[in-house]
Amino acid sequence: MSKSNRPPHDLGDRSASRHEQKPEYVEVVDRANRFLALFSADLATEHHLYHRAVALLIFSRCGKLLLQKKRAPAGKHFYWGVPHTRHMHFREAQQDRAGRLFISVMGTSAPRLYKKNTKLLPGEHGPIFLTIYSTGKTVPILLHRSLLPVDADEMAELVLEFPDLIEPLTASLWQHRNLLIKH
């Protein structure tokens, strides 16, 4: 097949729109967190369906929680929050999803991850059963402009003094302090 006859995605063509994305799917569940079906994220959001998500608490060796700088909705520049995802791969275990999330944030393979809890929370995109994983105190602190290490006192100050800079899901987790700060 000649180069000109190949579709742009086969060429790795950078001229193809970067805004074209594969549809994102979420695991839709019932009120008891039992799997029902895979739905497009847009459809699940539109109907405020119960779905699953994974959050990852990354702790430095000295016990500081790493917050990730994220794009905020229109009208804001950014906010800080714990890494989390609703996006899933077909038949992907939640711990594997947490490991993939660690790789995307830290750029290296994940250490052993510990499942902490599953909580039903009101999410921006409908109610979510959020499964929380933790690294424990194992990750060396990386100096990077998109990561902010905070201890419990610093997190309390951020939430109190700068609530508009804290992602809603992270603020909701802060209400359950034992989930967010304990390794």
User: Where are the chain's structural domains?
Assistant: 22-180
For residues 96 and 126, what is the distance between their CA atoms, to the nearest angstrom? 23
Average pLDDT over residues 107-134: 87
- Is the pLDDT confidence value at 178 over 70? no
SS3 168: helix
For residues 42 and 24, what is the distance between their CA atoms, to the nearest angstrom? 8
- Is the pLDDT confidence value at 36 over 90? yes
- Please state the pTM of the whole predicted model: 0.77
Burial of 105 from C-beta contacts in 10 A (0-12 / 13-18 / 19+): buried
pLDDT greater at residue 90 or residue 49: 49
- Is the pLDDT confidence value at 59 over 70? yes
* The pLDDT of residue 71: 82
* The pLDDT of residue 11: 31
Please compute Rg for the chain using Cα positions.
Answer: 18
Asked whether the beta carbons of 111 and 137 are under 8 A apart, the reply is no
For residues 115 and 80, what is the distance between their CA atoms, to the nearest angstrom? 22
Q: Range with the lowest mean pLDDT among 4-13, 74-83, 129-138?
A: 4-13
Q: How many CB atoms lie within 10 A of CB 57?
A: 24
Query: How does residue 14 score in pLDDT terms, banded at 50, 70 and 90?
Result: very low
* The pLDDT of residue 12: 35
Which residue, 107, 150, 153, 115, is CA-closest to 135?
115
pLDDT greater at residue 161 or residue 7: 161
Instruction: Give the H or E element holding residue 110.
Output: none
Regarding the domain delimited by 22-180, which CATH topology (the fold level of the hierarchy) does it fall under?
Nucleoside Triphosphate Pyrophosphohydrolase (3.90.79)
- Is the pLDDT confidence value at 6 over 50? no
What average pLDDT does the structure give for the chain? 80
Per-residue pLDDT tens digits for 62-114:
888 999 998 877 666 788 999 988 777 767 888 999 999 999 888 888 889 99
What residue ranges in the chain does DSSP mark as E strands?
Answer: 25-29, 35-40, 51-60, 65-71, 78-81, 84-85, 114-123, 126-139, 147-150
Query: How does residue 161 score in pLDDT terms, banded at 50, 70 and 90?
Result: very high
C-alpha angle 69-116-153 in degrees, rounded to nearest 5? 50
* The pLDDT of residue 68: 92
Which residue, 126, 94, 98, is CA-closest to 28?
126
46-55 as b/e: b if 16+ CB within 10 A: eeebbbbbbb
Average pLDDT over residues 114-138: 86
* Helix, strand, coil abundance in the chain, percent, nearest 5: 25, 35, 40
- Is the pLDDT confidence value at 7 over 60? no
